[in-house]
Amino acid sequence: MNARRKVSSAAIFLKKTYDMIDTAPSSVAGWSDDGGSFIVREPKEFAAYMLPKYFKHSNFSSFVRQLNFYGFRKTKKEVLLVALETDDLKNSWEFHHELFHQHKPHLMAKIKRKTNYTEQFSDATSTGDDIDDLRNDVTEIKTHLTNLTDQIASLSRLVHSVCHDSLKRSRDDEEPSFVAEKPPRQQRRVMYEQQQFVDNLQYVDVIPFDMLAAPGAHTYATASDMQLRQTLLDAFAYPKPTTDDDDQYRIAL
């Protein structure tokens, strides 16, 4: 029970690192035979798959720097052993700390992060992981707000488009009745003007036809002119409008 309490009081970075190494696939990372150190056999896969699960980043160099802050040291390999290793093992990293042991996790509570600040402030900022988590949370919130802003803008454009289409349809619905009403009124106006011309023509006995005379002469209507007059009367003899909806064009002969 006391050992568990000591483990819980250890720095978050150390506890996460312990769990990460303890659960990693053996081909990627694991403990040494005596449990006194841990080995990262595939740094690229370790950074791509293991680090994001525990630290929300995939930067292996950043992970190594954190280990250095807590006093971990990279184990040096003998030149002869390196020459005998396979290509996969040549890329491996092994880290050691006397208080970081597979079978003695309670010792982690004694590991302190190197810092120039006071011990109290060091405990509050013992790892950069808490800060990284906060930064990630802020980034997620900003991303969420950006998405909400985009959605609001899209909805605003949609509402504007719907209102515009609705107004256009309303105008289109009103235009047919106006157009249908307009031609009859124009027709009544034409009929009225033509009827006025015919009425005036009926009360004229003698019509000057300057256009039919020779240049400089003024001729009055003859028998042939009267025949032309009758032709004009027949041509413009339109029936009187009978609609009662517009008194302006009502004609009484």
| Residue 13 CB contacts under 8 Å (≥ 6 apart), including other chains | 66, 70, 113, 126, 127, 128, 129
Please indicate, yes or no, whether the overall pTM of this predicted structure exceeds 0.75: no
| Residue 38 CB contacts under 8 Å (≥ 6 apart), including other chains | 21, 29, 30, 31, 32, 94, 95, 100, 102
Is residue 61 over pLDDT 60? yes
Q: Which of 89, 75, 76, 96 is nearest to 17 (CA)?
A: 96
Strand (E) or helix (H) holding 174: helix 129-202
Whole-number Å distance between alpha carbons of 176 and 222: 51
Average pLDDT for 103-113: 92
42-56 burial code (b ≥16 CB/10 A, e <16): bbeebbeebbeebbe
In angstroms, what is the C-alpha Rg of the chain?
51
Structure letter (DSSP) for residue 128: S
Q: State both tokens at 159.
A: 């509402």
**Domain 2-126: which topology?**
Arc Repressor Mutant, subunit A (1.10.10)
Average pLDDT for 56-78: 87
Average pLDDT for 44-52: 94
Q: Taking a C-beta distance cutoff of 8 angstroms, is the pair 29, 21 a contact?
A: yes
Exposed (0-12), middle (13-18) or buried (19+): which is 92, by Cβ within 10 Å? middle
pLDDT the model gives residue 104: 93
pLDDT tier at 206, thresholds 50, 70, 90 = very low
Q: Taking a C-beta distance cutoff of 8 angstroms, is the pair 11, 124 a contact?
A: no
| Residue 67 CB contacts under 8 Å (≥ 6 apart), including other chains | 17, 95
Of 136-150, 152-166, 195-209, the least confident: 195-209
| Percent residues over pLDDT 70 in the chain | 53
pLDDT tier at 107, thresholds 50, 70, 90 = very high
Structure letter (DSSP) for residue 78: -
